[in-house]
Amino acid sequence: MHLGIILSMKKGIDHFVYRELLVYTSQNTKITLFPTKYRLGLYNAIDQWTVQRWYPIWVILLQPFFFLQFPIKYTQLLTEAIKEKLYMDFLLAWYFSRKMRNVDVIYSICGDHKFFVGYFCKRILKKPLAVTIHAYELYRNPNPGFFVKALNNCDQIITVTQYNKEILSSRYGIDSSKIRVVRVGVDTQDYHPGQKFTILIVGYFDERKGHDLLFKAVKQLGLDDIEIWVVGTGDQRGGYVDVYRLANDIGIQNHVAFFGEISGNALKAVYRNCDIFCLPCRKDRNGISEGFPTVLMEAMAFGKPVISSRHVEIPRIISEILIDENDVDGLAEAIMRLYKSRQLREIQGENNRKIAEELFSLKNAECIHELLKCLSNNKFPNGQVLSGKDK
């Protein structure tokens, strides 16, 4: 079967639609997408799906060709579109119909303009039309009268709730026997109760942070219940690393959750709920090192066990667990030590909290403030007055 699916991709593909299409693909169904709006988003078309994008200039320039090829049908549908003020839906349907000739079924997802485009495509190609009605189109439909007309000309009406079916019947007068209720699906094999051992890494997507080392170490361990939480982003300058691609290339993407750039309570939440924190720092290819990463201080303040590297200042503050720079095997062993022992995690977390209280409290900012205050009074902290030469 070959489906021609009319949908919106204004922020990529909606997650529930994406899941639905993956099921169709698993059933060896060929899919061609006809998006009325298009932008990349969280979920995008996979390689097996053909995407037929449209461009306004071509939609307009091709209309005379369609008229000359099908003058009677074009005129009839144009008259209908003008009456209903559905000009763009009409034009887009003719444009899409060029690439729909080999589809077996036209399927509109949502009963708004996508459905209206599907209606005109059905009239042009004389192919069966199906639609799934979700919710908002029942309450704020852009053309309620034409919505009813399209429904009455539709070969299969699907809606996602029994309540929607009752509205279609009572408010829009659709014969309930023509409506099938098929609820939105969730992959219950993927979405299920369970515990994960979570490793948090926070930082810019930079070579010095060692994302690749962490990914390779977890890949080496081969444990299904380990998940890496990645917080941060990058600006593609200096030592930028495409961490999203890195996860795919290493084959660890199913064990990585990307949170993007977060702050405030959201950032505190991931610190609070991770099992361990890991930042395997190293010098980058230009010899640039870290100072003492702020995110290590924050994780320690939350009482989390941390894994880092013997890098610049870090071993002067943290005694364990440390690895050598670029040591994937050592990192895997360190993760396994903490993975196996809740007691060790608790002991290290308590010790790290004490270090944070002692070395990294806001008293440090007060100290700098005092130094600056002394300078403003032309004095060193010990009371020495600055000379003119020192100013």
Residues 203 and 169 in one domain: no
Compute the CA torsion angle 38, 234, 241, 316 (nearest 10 deg): -160
247 and 174, same structural domain?
A: no
Instruction: Please name every residue paired with 30 in a beta bridge, in sequence order, or none if there are none.
Output: 2
Is residue 365 included in any domain, yes or no? no
Shared domain check, 233 and 117: no
Residues 18, 165, single domain; the answer is yes
CA distance 43 to 41: 5
Residue 113 lies in a domain: yes
Mean pLDDT of 297-320: 93
For the chain, give the mean pLDDT. Answer: 93
| Residue 121 shares a structural domain with residue 213 | no
* Strand, coil or helix: 295: helix
- Dihedral sign (CA 355, 357, 362, 365): negative
Enter the pTM of the model: 0.78
In a shared domain, residues 222 and 169: no
Shared domain for 217 and 133, answered yes or no, is: no
Q: What is the pLDDT of residues 104-141, one digit of tens each?
A: 999 999 999 999 999 999 999 999 999 999 999 999 99
CATH number at residue 253: 3.40.50.2000
* pLDDT band at residue 238 using 50, 70 and 90 as cut-offs: low
| Residue 239 and residue 329 share a domain | yes
In a shared domain, residues 11 and 102: yes
Per-residue pLDDT tens digits for 185-226: 999 988 889 899 999 999 999 999 999 999 999 999 999 999
Res 11: pLDDT: 93
Decide if 318 is inside a domain. Answer: yes
Phi, psi of 31 (to 5 degrees): -125, 130
What's the rounded mean pLDDT across residues 341-357?
A: 96
Q: Are residues 165 and 202 in the same domain?
A: no
Q: Please name the residue that has the structure tokens 């349907």.
A: 93
262 inside domain: yes
Give the integer Cα–Cα distance in Å for 114 and 254: 33
Confidence bin at 378 (pLDDT 50/70/90): confident
**Count of domains observed in the chain:** 2
Q: What percent of the chain has pLDDT over 90?
A: 84
The DSSP letter of residue 189 is T
Residues 221 and 160 both lie in one domain:
no
* pLDDT confidence bin for 389, thresholds 50/70/90: very low
| pLDDT at residue 382 greater than cutoff 70 | no
For residues 134 and 11, membership in a common domain is answered with: yes
Residue 14: pLDDT over 50: yes
Would you say residue 102 lies in a domain?
A: yes
- Classify residue 192: in a domain, yes or no: no
Boundary-marking domain end, from 156, 181, 206: 181
Residue span of the structural domain in which 164 resides: 2-181
DSSP β-ladder status, 276-279 and 306-309: parallel
pLDDT score, position 237: 66
Tell me if 54 sits within 8 A of 92, measured CB to CB: yes
In a domain, 288, yes or no: yes
215 backbone dihedrals φ, ψ, rounded to 5°: -60, -45
- Specify if 381 maps to a domain: no
